[in-house]
């Protein structure tokens, strides 16, 4: 039981630090490249709240049997390497999203914020499911609480820009072609993250 608790603690630390580091780099790049704020303060707070909901269920998550076979220790350099590598991967796909929204679709400030809000929240959900295991993510079943909360936040994220709350939140429902592009970017992000995870099994 102690090994399970320790493994789930490391999941939360690794995923959260890499996501926050990537978001920090992305916000800095967006602030330098865009003539408007990439996200409004309320949108940042909402994004953080939504992505933290599944994070609260990590404590209930299943742990792969191979992680329970022997005791593990905390290694700060592994946490640092994990944060740097996967944070940079996250930032690269954020920059791709910026280019698609701004150059590909000529997005206005509101349209850009709406697209990046959706992409940021969904990729944070996806990367949590990918990085929670050393296996291929489809071969490791998450806990019911993690799966349900992730699906719920996914649905809320897609619905918000089309709901009556969109106006007060500064969001606007993207057209289907934009959603399709964001979906393709998310799939690419998951595949690259999975490949990087396999390339660094001891990270």
Q: Which of 114, 158, 1, 126 is nearest to 54 (CA)?
A: 126
CA 182 to each of CA 13, 37, 68, 152, 199: distance values in angstroms, whole numbers, following the listed order: 27, 20, 37, 19, 26
| pLDDT at residue 73, as a whole number | 84
Q: What is the mean pLDDT of the chain?
A: 92
| pLDDT at residue 183, as a whole number | 95
| pLDDT at residue 75, as a whole number | 85
**Which tens digits make up the pLDDT trace of 12-41?**
998 999 988 998 899 899 888 889 989 999
Q: In the predicted model, what is the mean pLDDT of residues 70-88?
A: 89
């Amino acid at each position: 039981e102690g090994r399970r608790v320790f493994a789930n603690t490391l999941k939360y630390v690794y995923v959260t630090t890499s996501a926050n580091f990537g978001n920090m780099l992305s916000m800095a790049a967006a602030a330098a490249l865009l003539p408007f704020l990439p996200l409004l303060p309320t949108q940042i707070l909402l994004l953080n709240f939504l992505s933290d909901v599944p994070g609260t269920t990590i404590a209930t998550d299943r742990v792969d049997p191979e992680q329970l076979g022997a005791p593990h220790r905390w290694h700060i350099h592994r946490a640092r390497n994990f944060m740097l590598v996967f944070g940079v991967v996250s930032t690269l796909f954020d920059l791709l999203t910026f280019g698609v929204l701004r150059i590909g679709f000529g997005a206005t400030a509101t349209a850009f914020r709406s697209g990046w809000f959706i992409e940021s929240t969904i990729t944070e959900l996806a990367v949590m499911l990918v990085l929670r295991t050393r296996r291929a993510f489809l071969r490791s079943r998450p806990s019911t609480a993690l799966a349900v909360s992730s699906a719920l936040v996914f649905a809320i994220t897609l619905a918000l820009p089309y709901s009556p709350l969109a106006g007060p939140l500064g969001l606007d429902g993207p057209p289907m072609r934009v959603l399709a592009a964001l979906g393709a970017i998310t799939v690419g992000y998951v595949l690259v993250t999975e490949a990087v995870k396999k390339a660094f099994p001891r990270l």
